């Protein structure tokens, strides 16, 4: 559900109004490094595709704290992420997409309208961006309150299940 303040949604928690207007999210690979240099000097990737996962840090800053009461390390959260992933039109999305979040572009960077199925590349599209739906495990989080500035900030660390 789009709350008008952010595109982020925690399916199990929801978003408290006025808790996420100054939101930031990073998504980074959480893959064990399995690169090896061969005797001839070539560098090879030996990572298992099934272990290619993401980690994320979400930062908040607003009037009210996010709904983290009772949220403990190890809890599972499904998110409609605010951060976008992008790729080439000839390749499939690496994660499910948030409905309505797919944007197709042509070689000039102009938006190409989607057809009936937004997950299918329209003619002329060369790349896409989309907001992924990812199931995470909660790492750690913190909430800070600035009484004088009337501001609450929080950080939430997540790892893909």
Q: Do residues 146 and 78 both lie within one domain?
A: yes
Q: Do residues 93 and 115 both lie within one domain?
A: yes
- In this predicted structure, what is the pLDDT of residue 3? 43
Q: Do residues 123 and 159 both lie within one domain?
A: no
Q: How many domains does the chain have?
A: 2
HEC letters along 84-143: CEEEECCCCCCCCECCCCCEEECCCCCEECCCCCCCCCCCCCCEEEECEEEEEEEEEEEE
Q: At 76, which helix (H) or strand (E)?
A: strand 76-80
- In this predicted structure, what is the pLDDT of residue 2? 40
- In this predicted structure, what is the pLDDT of residue 80? 93
C-alpha to C-alpha distance for 151 and 47, rounded to whole angstroms: 43
Domain of 114?
A: 85-130
Is there a domain that residue 37 lies in? no
Q: Do residues 8 and 72 both lie within one domain?
A: yes
pTM of the model: 0.85
- Contact (CB, 8 A) for 118 and 31: no
Q: Do residues 60 and 91 both lie within one domain?
A: no
Please list the rounded mean pLDDT of every run of 10 residues in the chain (161 residues): 61 73 90 84 88 93 87 94 94 94 96 93 96 96 90 94 95
């Amino acid at each position: 559900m789009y709350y008008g303040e952010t595109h982020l949604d925690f399916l199990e928690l929801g978003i408290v109004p006025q808790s996420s207007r100054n939101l930031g999210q990073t998504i980074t690979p959480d893959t064990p490094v399995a690169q090896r240099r061969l005797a001839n000097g070539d560098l090879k990737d030996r990572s298992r595709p099934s272990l290619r996962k993401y980690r994320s840090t979400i930062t908040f800053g607003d009037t009210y704290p996010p709904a983290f009461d009772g949220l403990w390390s190890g809890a599972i959260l499904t998110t409609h992420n605010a951060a976008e992933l992008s790729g080439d039109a000839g390749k499939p999305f690496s994660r499910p997409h948030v409905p309505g979040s797919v944007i197709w572009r042509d070689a000039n960077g102009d938006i190409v309208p989607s057809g009936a199925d937004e997950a299918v590349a329209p003619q002329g599209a060369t790349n896409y961006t989309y907001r992924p739906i990812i199931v995470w495990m909660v790492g750690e989080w913190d909430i800070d309150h600035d009484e004088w500035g009337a501001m609450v900030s929080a950080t939430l660390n997540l790892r893909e299940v």
